[in-house]
Structure 1
Amino acid sequence: MYRVKEVSELTGISVRMLHHYDKIGLLRPTAISESGYRLYNDNDLKLIQQILIYRELDFSLKEIKEILSNENLDLKETLRTQKQLIIDKRNRLNKIVETIENTIKDMEGEFNMNKKGLFEGFDIEKHNKLYEEEVENKYGKSDAYKESKGKTSKYSKEDWNNIIGEIDDLYKNLAELMDREVSDEEVQSLVHQWRMLISKNFYQCSIEIFKGLADMYIYDERFTKNIDKYGEGFTNFLSEAMNYYCNKN
């Protein structure tokens, strides 16, 4: 059996994130010791491997939980499917690497690259269309979505740069406080600023909406990957801080 710290060292997943997996029912420890330590076995390690593979394939934690909770799950067949998906992703990334190399050669005069060749491997339109359809299907009927779309459609490139800069600064400031409790006064002050920033630039962010965002950051892998660029486990910290804020207001 392995304690949570040992699992963290083996897998590279932070202790905070393993606690979160337990909290949302994605990965429960096999047992709890008399001293209250979470204990994991070898089967749990295989499940963690599955979680990491699905995360690499851009599945959300919610989707991974649904897949792994299937009683008829055939692990060997699942691994075969994952292998093919990873190969497909690798092939696409290899194509992007080739595109980058050809672009460098074109800049150095060694290769005459046509304009379409600049974007080989990206499938930008396909991925954007899928993302936009999903967002609209989930949120298109809400007043917040309509308000946000109305506001943001009028923003210039300079407006966007300013907004992104504000968000970046706020996230960096919060990331520096990750060693504190989410109830910390300074942490909560920055969380309040985050809610106000959303209200100012996108839509009126009620407590209910803010709480929904906190959950979405965790369950939607696209948000998790971007937010965790500010520090491993930052998404979980931010979500917990936002939930604490909502429960207190």
Structure 2
Amino acid sequence: MMTIHELANYSGISIRMLHYYDRIDLLKPCCIEPNGYRKYNEESLRRLQQIMFYKEMDLPLKKIKEIMNQPLFNQKAAIKNQKDFLIAKRNRLTKLIEQMEQILEGNNEMDFKVFEHNELEEVFRSRIMQLDEGYQQALINQYGSIDALIARMTKNKAKITESAIKYYGSVDKYIESLKQAPLPKEGMGKLQLKLDGIVKKIAAYKGEDVSKPEIQKLVNEWKETFKMILEQDDISETFRRIYHSYMNRQEIIKIMDEIYGGGSSVFVGKAMKYNDRDMPAIK
């Protein structure tokens, strides 16, 4: 156990700042003694270390508090994501430093590739890390890892640049827009995980008649869950577009089949279409 003075000396964080962390519910003492002394234990140290990691990523205290006070916050998973983020940032800085060293050594060859900025990748990673634990797990279940998701998101940089300039005026403005965009509400991750599980169950029936009651019951469960995510009672138009994509869009079919097995995308799409059989076909 440590007093607040001992913690300040050990961590290098001022007593004033530790008082502030307590006041905003970011780092509370594990107990307060009758004489008013705040005491901190090993868990307090781990939490403070995590706060300092997030500060190294230039996240504001308000956002750090939102992340760390989530009910499903997982310290080890957070550290893994923080490590990945900082490694990506370090690699970019290493390239810049190497370029500077070459210039200082008299190499005047200009290489502007070193300035190709990975800020977009860093912003995507930062945004994903700010999602609640359940939402992150849903993405990992779908894409295999956070790195795989980011690689997919940034795969076609030329197309991203073109769209950013077209709709935002510049890549920088697009990045700023991403930084300011609201995050999904807390709890959405659990719903995403539930959707993922339902799709897996539907795909497990591949080869059977999509009209089977067990399959249609799962489709109805999927629809009810999706309504909660969209916070809408009528999702009919969105539902049709989703199953149409599952059956016809090759990029969607490829992703779905990679996740749930060959033929899954079309089968799930057909099961959904059967559920919506009384509706007119989408154009």
- TM-score, with length taken from structure 2: 0.42
Specify which structure has the bigger relative contact order, considering alpha-carbon pairs within 8 angstroms and separated by 6 or more residues: 1
State the structure with more CA Rg.
2
